[in-house]
Amino acid sequence: MKFSRKAVSQYRNSPNDFAKSLFAPLPARYNLLAEVLSFGQDRRWRSAMVDRVAGSGPQLILDVACGPCAVTKRLAKKTAARIVGLDLSEDMLRVGQANIESAGLGERVGLVLGRGEQLPFADATFDALTFTYLLRYVKDPAATMAELARVVKPGGPIASLEFAVPKRFGWRASWWLYTRAVLPVLGYLTGGKAWWNVGRFLGPSISVHYRSYPVPWTVEAWQRAGIDHVECRTMSLGGGLVMSGYRSG
């Protein structure tokens, strides 16, 4: 299943705008459907990412591409830090704010409208940083990594969560079948046409991203951005990838 040439062109030329348009109808049910369509794995992946930064005792954390604040809430519950969530979608932030308030975390969490490629913060502002499903929606992943690292204090942990393509042939074939055939149908049945569109886009976009930016390239991009001790953890038979490292001194 493929998107139209127009949609593919928009994704390549302006991934930020494409992402805003694709996810615009989804904020209210995003977290729930992400959990259902990943068979509960999305929560495990997010928890593993948060654990990479929580143990450092950070006082101020930036959560980039926070969406409706699933990771932001987990960071606030796992640490005593103040959290800043940043996303390019006002609709996502509006739902995220409601989720934060309903969890009683409003005093420690602030939300900001912005882009991961151009953060509205000074150098070395944050003790730690997380970002989720971001690099497929930016034009220059290497430059984005440099910008993310810029706002983290020396020695501060940085962790990310991205989808991945399983390496083993059998699991990769099953993953391909699920993302191309099953996911769009499940999305439509549980979330309507908006999730059908996301389901059609997700698998091909992951494959295209890793053909252009394989994991070893991404590790090098982290290192060139000034991040040391970069580690990768594949999860759920290779369907999820948690990366982490520390801002160099």
Look at residue 195 and tell me whether its pLDDT is greater than 90: no
pLDDT digits (tens, 9 = 90+) for 134-160: 999 999 999 999 999 999 999 999 999
Contact 240, 161 (CB under 8 A): yes
Which H helix or E strand runs over 36? helix 30-37
User: Average of pLDDT values for 167-187?
Assistant: 88
User: Mean pLDDT across the chain, nearest whole number?
Assistant: 90
Instruction: Give the pLDDT band of residue 6 (cuts 50, 70, 90).
Output: low
pLDDT digits (tens, 9 = 90+) for 28-41: 777 776 776 677 78
* DSSP 8-state assignment for residue 167: S
Instruction: Give the pLDDT band of residue 9 (cuts 50, 70, 90).
Output: low
Written as one letter, the residue type at 42 is: D
Nearest to 111 by CA among 129, 90, 131: 90
List the Cα angle 202/31/107 in 5-degree steps: 135
Which of 22-26, 135-139, 191-195 has maximum average pLDDT?
135-139
Look at residue 2 and tell me whether its pLDDT is greater than 70: no
pLDDT digits (tens, 9 = 90+) for 55-114: 989 999 999 999 999 999 999 999 999 999 999 999 999 999 999 999 999 999 999 999
β-sheet with 240-247: strand ranges across: 109-113, 82-87, 60-64, 128-132, 157-163, 240-247, 227-235
Look at residue 1 and tell me whether its pLDDT is greater than 50: no
CATH number of 187's domain: 3.40.50.150
Pairing type for strands 82-87 and 109-113 reads parallel
pLDDT digits (tens, 9 = 90+) for 206-241: 998 999 999 999 999 999 999 999 999 999 988 999
The domain in which residue 150 lies consists of 5-247
The span from the CA of 64 to the CA of 117, in Å, is 10
Write out the DSSP string of 89-107: -HHHHHHHHHHHHHTT-TT
95, 162, 183, 211 from 207: Cα distances, Å: 30, 12, 15, 6
The span from the CA of 62 to the CA of 234, in Å, is 23
List the Cα angle 232/234/236 in 5-degree steps: 160
Written as one letter, the residue type at 136 is: R
- Is the model more confident about 19 or about 229? 229
Domain total of the chain: 1
The span from the CA of 14 to the CA of 8, in Å, is 10
Pairing type for strands 227-235 and 240-247 reads antiparallel
Answering whether pTM is above 0.85, one says: yes
